[in-house]
Amino acid sequence: MNLLDSITISATGLSAERIRLNIASMNLANANVTRTVDGGPYRAKSVIFASERYKPQSDGPGNSQGGDFDQQLEKAVETVKVAGIVDDPDPFIKVYDPGHPDADADGMVSYPNVNTMEQMVDVMNASRAYEANATVLETAKSMAMKAIDIAR
């Protein structure tokens, strides 16, 4: 595995965490929307991650020539991908507010099933994972620059 492979693996993590952060932000922004274009309140969404075995693009410079350790490492390395974005099946939150324009016959208003605490935890986790992947990229860049300095 070469330096470019580690950059590619970190980039998949950055991409997945960016999507997770966007979905959590969208959920928070719509936490009080009682009427959507489709009708009814906004339904919270969740991101489903899946692992995927990493397949190096080529056996270019920096890759060893089939060593046993490299073969074992290649079998163990996985990347992350977004398998899907799904609606949260939790029920809507019912609040008694007969004066609200979206109230039903009993005066109940259905609010989105967005749990703001869960969404904030998702935002924090996504930003920390994003930061970790960005650190890996910065370290790989630093290693490449040091290798270039050594080669001079």
Other C-beta atoms lying within 10 Å of the C-beta of residue 62? 11
For residue 22, CA distances in Å to 10, 31, 53, 82 come to 18, 14, 25, 13
> Does the residue 146 lie in any domain?
yes
User: What pLDDT band is residue 58 in, cutting at 50, 70 and 90?
Assistant: low
Q: What's the domain count of the chain?
A: 1
77, 57 Cβ separation under 8 angstroms: no
55 is in which domain, residue-wise? 3-89+116-151
> Does the residue 104 lie in any domain?
no
Cross-strand pairs, 78:
53
Model pLDDT, residue 133? 93
Average pLDDT over residues 1-9: 81
User: What pLDDT band is residue 57 in, cutting at 50, 70 and 90?
Assistant: low
> Does the residue 14 lie in any domain?
yes
